[in-house]
Homo-oligomer: A and B are copies of this chain.
Amino acid sequence: MIATPKSLAIEHLEAFRKVVGHSAVFVDKEVLSNYAHDETEDLHFLPDVVIKPSSAQEVSAVLTICNQYGIPVTPRGAGTGLSGGALPHLGGVLLSIERMNKIIDIDERNLQVITESGVITEVLQEAVKSKRLFYPPDPSSRGSCMIGGNISENSGGPKAVKYGVVKDYVMNLEVVLPTGEIIWTGANVLKNATGYNLTQLIVGSEGTLGIVTKAVLKLIPLPKYDLLMLVPFRDPVKACAAVSAIFMCGYTPSALEFMERDALEFAMRFIDNCIVPIGDDVQAHLLIEVDGNDVDVLMREIEGISEIVMQFDCGEILFAEDAQQKAELWKLRRRVAEAVKANSIYKEEDTVVPRAELPLLLKGVKEIGKKYGFHSVCYGHAGDGNLHVNIIKGDLTDEQWNGSLKKGIVEIFELVKTLGGTISGEHGIGLVQKEYLPIVFEETQMRLMKQIKKIFDPNNILNAGKIFD
């Protein structure tokens, strides 16, 4: 039982200062409020203390104190999460990994990188890119999100369709357990059949099982060329149908993104001087990228894909002419989420289904929206079957928003399950989706997960109340 968590964290301030130094412990209101929210809806929870350790040893020392006294700890990367995983909803200690921000070794001989977990994803990508290496997983927030957060959420991003998600790049992790023990989960190798896969148990565990302090990540050779096309469709459902057709013909694009008309329009209004002409009858776009080391092959792929999408009643395809136009199109896509969110109060659902079921999912979402009176803006990583459904508050009353809307969300998730999918592809369950988890897991899986949590965190101090209660 955590009786009075707030006072407990403050009570042990001196102990924290002793183990991490005065300059790593913050209690002033301004700092606390900076760490009170992430990118999940409009949720705010003040921590009692913010601690910024600089090493696994310091993390261990902090956790040891918290474990001894039952002080809640919320680990945090950059706070760009979309399911509330980094929200300190129980107060207590907010443990930021931001000072563990060194890339330790880019190992060009073995195509791997050893990094601290507080490194910003884009910083890591650029560092390895300078050595012609590639770390593909990058959420839209890559400019600010951190490797540690990405690992906790098993993030994806646009390249996942060809290159896989974070879990496919994590070979070994240094993790501090809630009990203060520091472990490495595996080895720095591409294949491993040595005991249970503790590495993959930590990936995607949303900071509930341990705090990742270092990661050994697989790298691949950087593809030399890419081509990008933007395909407009009159019918969003047909745009979704085109997605699986492309893969069925043997193509594997390096990105295949879907955006409803609203999504792109919001993004254009949000970003200055970034305009793509959209015909009046256009209702959705696919942004399709291919990459590789041979331009001729890519040209043929783009031609082949063009022929396929034309069978789905598309409009005139825009082929990005140069690096600048590619960058602009990607900027539009990457900032859709922000733009949609700036436009209205919203709830974002992170549905994922087998990709050929996307048309049924989109149709279903719109029908459920009609039934419950909500408008949604949909976009996402269509190649993975991952559709972000942004439900817009619009004219809904607070009563509807906080009440009957939930039934609509449940219906969406039940549809997702029926289609072979699940309720989060890359955002995680965190705080705001946990009530829906029993839609996809029965009592047995829930029990297994809760027991696993208990093994790692017997006193339930670390990110308690995330994923499940």
Enumerate chain A interface residues (CB-CB to B < 8 A).
Answer: 107-112, 132, 153-156, 160-161, 164-165, 167-168, 177, 181, 183, 185-198, 200-201, 203-205, 209, 220-222, 244, 247-248, 250-252, 293-294, 297, 350, 352-357, 381, 384-386, 417, 420-429, 437, 440-442, 444-445, 448-449, 451-452, 455-456, 467-468
Contact = CB atoms under 8 A, between A and B. Distances in A.
Helix, strand, loop or mixed for chain A's interface? Answer: loop
B437 A194 contact: yes
Contact of A160 (B191, B417, B429): B191
B164 A168 contact: yes
A444 B181 CA distance: 8
Contacts of A445: 183, 185, 195, 198
A421 B111 CA distance: 14
Given A293-B250, A297-B294, A352-B191, A167 B444 contact: no
Contact of A221 (B185, B250, B421): B250
B429 A200 contact: no
Contacts of A111: 247-248
Copy number in this complex?
2
A240 to B, nearest CB: 12
Given A109-B356, A132-B250, A181-B444, A385 B423 contact: no
Contact of A455 (B222, B428, B452): B452
Contacts of A437: 194-195
Nearest to A188: B420
Nearest to A209: B196
B247 A193 contact: no
Q: Which 3 A-B pairs have the closest CB atoms?
A: A200-B200, A187-B422, A109-B356
B192 A354 contact: no
Chain B CB within 10 Å — which of A110, A155, A181, A194 has the most? A194
Given A110-B356, A195-B445, A195-B449, 16 more contacts: A111-B248, A154-B191, A186-B422, A187-B422, A190-B352, A192-B422, A192-B424, A195-B468, A198-B449, A201-B201, A220-B252, A221-B251, A294-B297, A448-B456, A451-B455, A452-B452
Contact of A244 (B109, B424, B448): B109
A354 B297 contact: no
Contacts of A468: 195
A167 B5 CA distance: 41
A219 B204 CA distance: 23
Contacts of A381: 191
A56 to B, nearest CB: 13
Contacts of A195: 429, 437, 441, 445, 449, 467-468
